[in-house]
Every structure is written in C-alpha cells, then in structure tokens.
Structure 1
Amino acid sequence: MIDEIVVISGKGGTGKTTLTASLIPYFEESVVGDCDVDAPDLNILFDTQLRSQRNFVGLQKAFLDKGSCINCGKCYELCKFNAISANIEIRLGRCEGCGLCEYICPASAITMGDATIGKLYVSETSFGEMVHARLIPGEEASGKLVAEVRRTAKRIAEREGKKNILIDGSPGVACNVISSITGSKKVVIVTEPTFSGIHDLKRVYELTKKFRLKAYVVINKYDISVEHTEEIERYCREEGIDMALKIPFKKEIVESITRKKIPSLDRRDLFNEIGFFGFVEKLKRE
C-alpha cells in the first residue's frame, strides 16, 4: 500500500516547501508531487531533468466563429462575466464556461470548447520522479490541476512499485487544498508563531478533521515569538494534535535555500539538534 503524505499550511510563506524538500531525501522508494500549482517552486531546490510535459485542459470556454456572427449583440448583453466585448470579441480570461452565449446565439456562431489552463510536467531528480504543474496566471479550476498532479504521481508510484508519495500541497483552505489532501493518509501542517499563522493553523486543521486525517504540526521559526509558540502548543494539546517538531529561525537554513541546497542535507548537524530525523522516523512508523 502506498503511503501518501501531504505537507500543507494555512497561509503562504510558512516554510511548507522548504520542509517538504528536507523530507524528500529520507523517504526511499518515493514519488514527489508539487500541488502548489499557483506558485510551484519545489523543483528549484532540486537538479531536475524534464522528462515530459503536456497541456492540461480545464473548464470549457466559449469560442466565436466571426464568419458566422451576425452582430446581434445578445451574447454581449446577457454575459454576466463581461467575457464578451461590445464589438463581439470573446475575452477568454474572463469566460467562466457557463455556456449561455452558445445557447442564445441565433446564428450558432459560438461553441464551447476545451481550453488549456496550465501545463503538467514530469521531471527526474536524484531522489526519484517529481510531478509538478503550473496554472496559467488568472485561470481558475486550480483544484482540477492539483488532482491531476496527484493522479499522475499515483500512477507512477503504482507502475514503479514505489512505497511513498510526498506532496507539497497548496496553502490555504480552498478547493486546491481539498484536492491536495483528499485520499491521503497523513498531513503535516506547517505554521509560524504569528497572529495570522495561528488563525490559519486552526482553519486548516478544522479542514483536515473533516477528512479524518492523521495530522502533525510543525512550528517553523518557533523562537521568534515564545508567546505565540506556547499558544500553538496549548492549542495542539487541547485538540489532541501531534505537536511534532519545532524549527528555530537560523540564518544557516536561509543560506542553504539561497544556495539552492536542501537544508537537512546541507546542515545535518543543525537538523539533528532540532529533532528533525526523529520526526522523519515518526512519519514512516505511524
């Protein structure tokens, strides 16, 4: 059975991707997925070799045959998304794919068709295959692209007989996060000791509870606020959450990232001090 672990956060910038990158080298027989399709950057920390890429089709959108258009203006008047201009041009970036314009067009000049919303990539790293994707800026349906990243990673894992899938999930609590965690076994929630960090930790944990997932909390830069760190620890005790790891704010970790190095490999001494490797064994064991 494949063990799927997803690293998420209630807000961006907590160190989710850095932690995911640090975990990857210690999970043998694994496939990696980057589900942060709005801002994918996990591949930056790895020397990746692109193996394949393909367009990903999301929602259908409206396409106009200008030769058939009679310029009646009905589509312009009735489109609620301002996706059609006064001179009857379709603005694909605004089209929500509702199909109304196709339905009401008396000349059948508008049809609904598949539209590319992003690209899906499969790359090779020194630690195995990585599936990642990039959503075209401004496009919607990121949840569908996230789901495709996970499906592709699972197919590779099944084909290659891999034991683990490690996912760098999307931040927040929206549909792309739901797509990141649906069907997984464990989630690691990365937070930081700030007012907004605590607020969003609670929101994303409530989401994971609905899926009955085993959750681990990691506090990144825990020493920048003792008061907020204690509040997080108190919340974890009250909710019965595994308060699994605290990472200090160290310039060595920042320097590793700026050199495109995986911190746990670049500074094993520091990561051994903070109990990182014990956390890795716990994730494997439970």
Structure 2
Amino acid sequence: MKELVILSGKGGTGKTSITASFARLAERPVIADCDVDAADLHLVIPPTIRERHIFMSGHQAVVMEEVCCNCGVCLPECRFGAIMEPAPEAGHDTFWIDPTACEGCGVCLETCPMDVIEFPERRCGEWMISDTACGPMVHARLGVAAENSGKLVTTVRQQARRIAEEAAHPLILVDGPPGIGCPVIASITGATDVLLVTEPTLSGAHDLERVLALTRHFGIPAAVCVNKWDINPEITEHIEALAHKSGARVVGRVRYDPSVTRAQIQERAVVDTDCPSADDIRAIWKELALQ
C-alpha cells in the first residue's frame, strides 16, 4: 500500500484541486484531508458522512465560580493571562478563565488553595468518515482557536490507514496542510511519497526549499510540479533546477487555467471537465506512476 501526501509551502497553490483530480484518476483510493485547520477537499469531492467523532485533546481549566472564594491567588501564576478578574456585568462574580487564552498547563489547578478549579478534557474539533464518488474519505474540522492540529492530523491518517488495510485499498491520497510546521510533519511521517505543488514566484521558490529540506530530513522521496507555470516561465525553470539540485523529481507543469475556478464552483474535479489543465494533471499522475 502506498501513501501519497500532496503538500505546498503555502496555501493557495492548488494542492487540493490536484488531490481531487488524483482521487478521480486513482483506482480505489482512500482519501484523507489533513489540512484540518482549513479543510476544503469536501468542497470539490462532496462527501456523505457516515461516522462523526468528537476530537478531545489536552485540558482546559474551569473555575467553579459558585464556590470560588475570590482570593486571587491564581491570578499572578498564569503566564498566559487566561485568568480574568471578576466581571459582574458579564456574569462573572468571581475570578474566571478565558477558554481561548487557556493553554491547559494546570498551574492554576496546583496553586488554588480551595481546590475549586476543574481540569476537564478539551473538545478541540471533530473527525469524520464519509463516502464519496471516489472512495472513502477521512476528514476533520479543528475548532475555533483550538490547538493540537498535529494530533488531529495523526488521527485522520490512522483512520485512513485502517480503512485501507481492512479493505485492501492500494493507495491513500493525503491532502496535506501548507507550511512546514507540526501538522505537516504529522502528515508526512511514514508516508511513501510526497508531491510538492508550488507556483512560479520568488516566495514559491523559497517555500519549496523549506519543504524539500523537510522531506529530505525524513527520507521521503519527493516529486515537484509547478502550478500556473506559464505566468512566469523564467522562475519556473529556476524552481525546477532547484528541485533537481535538491534530489527531487520534477513530474510536470500545470498551466494557468481560469476553468479550474469554474470546476470548483461546480463541485467537480478538474479532470472531470474539458479544461486544458486537466491534461496537464493527467500527465503528472501518469508520471508519478503510483498504480
């Protein structure tokens, strides 16, 4: 079983559109949307949700205001400024904790002389298993101001791998998050292949260098494609030379094509339309030779 992770150094390079097209071209794939901070693969591959699960991670301190003595011992101990002074006009007659500022460190729990602070698990979002026209999809939604996106990414990948193993699916397609941070590391650890989607700009070249360094660090074979290559052919050639120098394989180019936006509006993958860039994506898929 192979696992292809589609990444980019920044958002908006076209990786979700390419992932959706690959899902249409692949034979019996399992699809995983690991861009949990801003999941959008479901907008191009409409899912029918059959399982929905709460994602709990970390803890959050909560003051039991009905028994708090208002001593304020906890206030100077919180380095994140999450403990707020009484605000009767907002319904808080005692010290209380701002849930968006609390980091779940537990120092207030240890310092409270009255033991009136609870420390429940924090609900950070949800993850789902859905059916699509391309195959099963595992996707998730991180809550507003929630953290632990790397852990949620790991959950999504674990579920996708479980489904693939149980039903003998030959390929997992992962729409990864942008950048090089924790969610990206959680997306590529243990993957067999990575496709890096970039665009012909100076920032695109810089971001590509960072992601290539990350894939080299983890020893994962990387391929590179340039989206909208024809808006700046000179930088496209520079990026491809950079990829070759870094040991990555250049697998193709995708031309600038306004029809891609129309396909997204219609909730269709690019390769399901007759737009010119569809042929470019098919050529890249053939060059990857994953099946």
The TM-score bracket by the shorter chain reads over 0.9
Please say if 1:46 is aligned against 2:45. yes
CA RMSD of aligned residues (A): 1.5
Offset at residue 205 of structure 1 (A):
0.8
In structure 2, what is the equivalent of residue 111 of structure 1? Answer: 118
Following the alignment from structure 1 to structure 2, what is the Cα–Cα distance between the partners of residues 115 and 50? 24
Give secondary structure in 1 for the equivalent of 2:261.
Answer: helix
The within-5 A match list for 1:79-158 is 79-87=78-86, 88-158=95-165
Following the alignment from structure 2 to structure 1, what is the Cα–Cα distance between the partners of residues 271 and 45? 13
Following the alignment from structure 1 to structure 2, what is the Cα–Cα distance between the partners of residues 47 and 174? 28
Give secondary structure in 2 for the equivalent of 1:213.
Answer: coil
The within-5 A match list for 1:185-200 is 185-200=192-207
Offset at residue 93 of structure 1 (A):
1.1
Offset at residue 270 of structure 1 (A):
4.6
Q: Contact between 2:252 and 2:283, CA under 8 Å: does it hold in 1?
A: no
Q: Which amino acid aligns with 1:63?
A: V
Q: TM-score scaled by structure 2?
A: 0.93
Offset at residue 115 of structure 1 (A):
0.7
Give secondary structure in 2 for the equivalent of 1:74.
Answer: coil
Give secondary structure in 1 for the equivalent of 2:84.
Answer: coil
In structure 1, what is the equivalent of residue 25 of structure 2? Answer: 26
In structure 1, what is the equivalent of residue 266 of structure 2? Answer: 259
Q: Contact between 1:68 and 1:108, CA under 8 Å: does it hold in 2?
A: no
Give secondary structure in 1 for the equivalent of 2:74.
Answer: helix
Following the alignment from structure 2 to structure 1, what is the Cα–Cα distance between the partners of residues 59 and 187? 23
Following the alignment from structure 1 to structure 2, what is the Cα–Cα distance between the partners of residues 137 and 186? 31
In structure 2, what is the equivalent of residue 235 of structure 1? Answer: 242
Following the alignment from structure 2 to structure 1, what is the Cα–Cα distance between the partners of residues 269 and 149? 27
In structure 1, what is the equivalent of residue 4 of structure 2? Answer: 5
Offset at residue 189 of structure 1 (A):
0.4
In structure 2, what is the equivalent of residue 175 of structure 1? Answer: 182
Offset at residue 245 of structure 1 (A):
1.2
Q: How many residues align?
A: 283
Please say if 1:159 is aligned against 2:158. no
Offset at residue 285 of structure 1 (A):
4.3
Following the alignment from structure 1 to structure 2, what is the Cα–Cα distance between the partners of residues 171 and 269? 26
Alignment counterpart, residue 253 of structure 2, candidates 222, 246, 266: 246
Following the alignment from structure 2 to structure 1, what is the Cα–Cα distance between the partners of residues 160 and 245? 35
Alignment counterpart, residue 277 of structure 1, candidates 282, 287, 290: 282
Following the alignment from structure 1 to structure 2, what is the Cα–Cα distance between the partners of residues 279 and 223? 16
Following the alignment from structure 2 to structure 1, what is the Cα–Cα distance between the partners of residues 274 and 155? 34
Offset at residue 277 of structure 1 (A):
2.8
Offset at residue 67 of structure 1 (A):
3.0
CA deviation string 1:159-207 (max 9, x = no partner): 2221111000000011011011111010000000011111101011101
Q: Which amino acid aligns with 1:172?
A: G
CA deviation string 1:132-174 (max 9, x = no partner): 1111121111111111111111111112221111000000011
CA deviation string 1:16-38 (max 9, x = no partner): 10110110012212210000011
Following the alignment from structure 2 to structure 1, what is the Cα–Cα distance between the partners of residues 16 and 269? 11
- Runs of 5+ unmatched residues, structure 2: 87-94
Following the alignment from structure 2 to structure 1, what is the Cα–Cα distance between the partners of residues 185 and 290? 25
- Runs of 5+ unmatched residues, structure 1: none
Following the alignment from structure 2 to structure 1, what is the Cα–Cα distance between the partners of residues 75 and 51? 40
Offset at residue 66 of structure 1 (A):
2.0
Q: Percent same amino acid at aligned positions?
A: 39
Following the alignment from structure 1 to structure 2, what is the Cα–Cα distance between the partners of residues 144 and 165? 19
Q: TM-score scaled by structure 1?
A: 0.95
The within-5 A match list for 1:47-66 is 47-66=46-65
In structure 1, what is the equivalent of residue 91 of structure 2? Answer: none
Q: Contact between 1:52 and 1:122, CA under 8 Å: does it hold in 2?
A: yes
